[in-house]
Structure 1
């Protein structure tokens, strides 16, 4: 089985960005995605993409969707993506951003989780009509023009606020279509959805599969095998990813010491948090903080 690649944000910027804010936020003009079509990958960023021409197949967490004009892709760092069978004229434009960019100066580090379409169990591809696509594409243009004003002292702040407006516009479209796009789920998919929702509400307090299995009235073995089959990752890996993502966001904020972050994520002490974080990322919390803040 091929190893799923991690598409780093700097690599993503190199491939596609027309204008960016550091390595945390960028927007593209209409682009072909052929560079990303061969293998499945995970992005470090959240993605909002709109297909503007042509067709393709989009595979998200092993489920396949049709991309066509005005189809919108909504992906998180927890999604495994693959785009293939693209028509020669397939084009799309998209914004990509990190959680840290969106939540910098926001006291709620899980602001992005308030948007249901960015839950890992939500439908990642929706189909817009011309009326709903138009204001979204206009926002893309506003963001692009803002990023072009490289000498503007508040370019980053304005871009962040325009991104927030875009998120709410997408939320309105997603909620209107939710009944239409809701899939008939298999029992395994239903269990995965319940598990994903539970993880993102309990991962600070509970990091063992046993807890989630008991809460969902299944055995740990059945839960792990089912989640692996549906998503390509084990239940334990999903839990670890949720914990590490929160730790990374907090480590970028120098107002918090490593000891405070360990307490916030319910580790017994700084040492155990440090060992856990290094096992997952290959870096100590302090090393990651230095690297992330460049």
Structure 2
């Protein structure tokens, strides 16, 4: 049994298309998952609230979005009609590629600024790319990885251009901001096993008291709020999207017993895990 959020990958190397029905997207709303693939999206029309790695983003008309492999993604709310072009590349396909310097150079930027508003002329250019990918898949077999690689590399160079002017200057981060970012990444990596602030402080080589002060100052949230948010998000996803017994969900999140898990869950959600599972609400 995997002690993580439900994982989403693609059944084929490349998947492209366009969504014009918000009902389909709403089927996936409120269920966080860890994306194993790389997903790129052009939102020509839409009003969508989503979160990536616990950070909330608003995706609206003429927005471009990149979801990197390993990201925790959740659609929170969709309002009105949508027109969304997308291309996804499976984890297996990504492993077959040679590292692309253009992507490596902007990975940090994408991670911290995944949504980019586009000018009208750029929207048309990116839309043409997605349409080319869709037509190519209709007329040629994308089982040929060489063709798929060319489509991917073409997209990467376009992404590099889009994000080049939005680069995050890590040199301008204060020591406190850097600590908070490192803490957030550690939580994403270890929350299923570790809920003690002292563990994360030790990893960072500082005291728990100092870490707590820094995180509160830079994020407005306590360390425990950030940790518990991840734990509860994972628990909610498993309760709603799997049929796993509650004791197995508790075990996957490293609780000593199901009773302790139940008390922890109710403290933050207001209802027991079973009550949440039985409820019609996905919130």
Unaligned residue ranges in structure 2 (runs of 5+): 187-197, 216-221, 232-251, 253-283
Unaligned residue ranges in structure 1 (runs of 5+): 11-21, 199-209, 235-278, 280-294
2:79 corresponds to 1:87: yes
In the TM superposition, 1:1-294 aligns within 5 A as 5-10=5-10, 23-31=12-20, 32=22, 33-104=25-96, 106=98, 108=99, 114-117=104-107, 121-151=111-141, 155-178=144-167, 190-194=178-182, 216-219=204-207, 222=211, 226=223, 229=226
- CA distance in 2 between counterparts of 1:72 and 1:85 reads 18
Deviations 1:192-242 (A, max 9, x none): 4346899xxxxxxxxxxx9996785524794998498279669xxxxxxxx
Greater length-normalized contact order (CA 8 Å, ≥ 6 residues apart): 2
Larger Rg belongs to: 2
Find the counterpart in structure 2 of residue 257 from structure 1: none
TM-score by length of 1: 0.56
Bigger drift between 95-104 and 117-126 goes to 117-126
TM-score by length of 2: 0.57
Q: How big is the shift at 1:122?
A: 2.0
- CA distance in 2 between counterparts of 1:92 and 1:45 reads 18
Deviations 1:105-150 (A, max 9, x none): 52x4x86861424667421212111122222211111111221124
Length, aligned pairs only: 208
